[in-house]
């Protein structure tokens, strides 16, 4: 059912609010047909740190005003189709080089800096009545030096509820993430999140951790530490969301049209860097690519090398060279035989200095983290993802059927179209 929707960076690269609205609506139609009434999207985190290991292609851009316009246009499309959204990760997960799935990040900015950047999209979302907001497992010393936002009363109650008068549902990010579970324990953290002002706790993980969460919440409610009135208020916010956006048994009648829309959106986001040009059709090409990109437990598995090779083989005489580990791969061992060399980057992590200093392809095909194009000194085609329609979009560019008109939605990059 349906097809893979482009992420925020594709939308940002297209710089088209109407396209964002259409994509948000199409995603909602697919979600609704599956029986769901709530989608934990879109991301409002700004793409303002090129070393960020987890946001990158999910963000709509680095400029708070434009990223807000695009992301909230996406939200409007979803809401119009009857599916609630949850903007995230408040107060902003963009400017960190630590993945909160693995450890507890800190965004050490002044209040003025946070207000100008990280906080701005969320304040706009509040003014637009976003139905729900997800918290970030990050410490912001200017707002609360002791607690991550998920467990911070000054942030969730003092700022979000009291100062901004936000009336929607506040839900935590996954409480099984190491930033929380590894430091505070899931039960203790769940209690602290509700006391801070969250309405819902995302109790992911094993049955044991979920039971630990439920038991801890039951105990704190029975003890009166959270009053019955507070519990009822939290329940009412959730009831209001489900009343406004109910689950409806709906047939998916726009599958073909939505597939066409998603395909077009992926193509609209295609971006080139360094005057990238496709090699002549039918020419000899050498693809250099990771042999196998398995899931690291946080990110999904990358695209298999065979799929990228097959895409290029439909246009070129392709020889594929795979590597198991980028740092141990000897670029100098590649034959200097006149074949056009394409490096396809299919992992999210950035390249090491050794790779940056020695790898010299003719073209860099960036299929995941767009900031990898900073690591390789070569012309680049950036797709912002490797879902089937992204690979189809890349093929269309190689076949010269489309022009890459996208612009990297991050300040400081010059990205002339091919």
Known catalytic residues?
101, 173
The token pair at 79 is: 């809401």
- 124: which 2 tokens? 């706009």
Best CA proximity match to 378, nearest among 312, 333, 410, 331 = 331
Interior angle at CA 88, CA 390 and CA 191, nearest 5:
135
Those residues whose C-beta lies under 8 Å from the C-beta of residue 69, and which sit 6 or more positions away, are 17
SS3 246: coil
Instruction: Look at the alpha carbons of 97, 100, 104, 105 in this order and tell me if their dihedral is positive or negative.
Output: positive
Calpha distance 133→200 (Å, rounded): 10
Handedness of CA 150, 153, 154, 157 (dihedral sign): positive
E strand spans, 302-416? 317-323, 340-345, 363-366, 380-382
Residue 212 near residue 4 (C-beta atoms within 8 A): no
* CB neighbourhood size of 228 (10 A): 9
DSSP string of 328-344, one letter each residue: G--GGGS--SSPEEEEE
């Amino acid at each position: 059912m349906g097809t893979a929707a482009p992420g925020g960076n594709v939308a940002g690269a297209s710089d088209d609010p109407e396209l964002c609205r259409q994509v948000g609506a199409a995603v909602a139609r697919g979600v609704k047909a599956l029986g769901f009434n709530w989608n934990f999207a879109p991301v409002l985190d700004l793409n303002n740190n090129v070393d960020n290991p987890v946001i990158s292609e999910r963000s709509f851009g680095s400029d708070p005003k434009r990223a807000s316009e695009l992301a909230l246009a996406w939200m409007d499309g979803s809401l119009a189709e009857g599916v609630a959204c949850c903007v995230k990760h408040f107060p902003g997960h963009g400017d960190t080089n630590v993945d909160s799935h693995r450890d507890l990040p800190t965004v050490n900015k002044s209040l003025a800096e946070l207000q100008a950047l990280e906080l701005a999209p969320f304040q706009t979302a509040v003014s637009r009545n976003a139905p729900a907001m997800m918290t970030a497992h990050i410490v912001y010393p200017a707002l609360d030096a002791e607690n991550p936002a998920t467990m911070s009363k000054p942030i969730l109650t003092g700022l979000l509820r009291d100062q901004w008068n936000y009336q929607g549902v506040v839900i935590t990010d996954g409480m099984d993430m190491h930033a929380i579970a590894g430091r505070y324990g899931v039960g203790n953290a769940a209690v602290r999140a509700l006391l801070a002002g969250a309405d819902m706790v995302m109790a992911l993980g094993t049955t044991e951790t979920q039971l630990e969460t439920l038991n801890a919440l039951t105990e704190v409610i029975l003890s009166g530490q959270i009053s019955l009135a507070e519990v009822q208020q939290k329940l009412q916010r959730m009831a209001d969301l489900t009343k406004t956006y109910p689950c409806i048994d709906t047939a998916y009648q726009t599958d073909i049209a939505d597939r066409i829309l998603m395909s077009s959106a992926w193509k609209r986001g295609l971006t080139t860097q360094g005057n990238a040009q496709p090699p002549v059709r039918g020419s000899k090409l050498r693809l250099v690519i990771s042999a196998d990109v398995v899931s690291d437990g946080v990110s999904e598995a990358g695209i298999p090398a065979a799929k990228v090779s097959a895409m290029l083989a439909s246009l070129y005489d392709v020889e594929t060279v795979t590597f198991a580990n980028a740092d141990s791969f000897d670029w100098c061992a590649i034959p200097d035989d006149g074949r056009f060399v394409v490096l396809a980057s299919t992992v999210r992590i950035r390249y090491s200095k050794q790779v940056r200093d020695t790898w010299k392809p003719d073209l860099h095909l960036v299929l995941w983290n767009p900031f990898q194009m900073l690591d390789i000194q070569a012309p680049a085609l950036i797709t912002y993802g490797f879902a089937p329609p992204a690979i189809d979009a890349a093929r269309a560019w190689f076949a010269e059927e489309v022009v890459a008109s996208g612009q990297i939605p991050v300040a400081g990059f010059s990205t002339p179209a091919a």
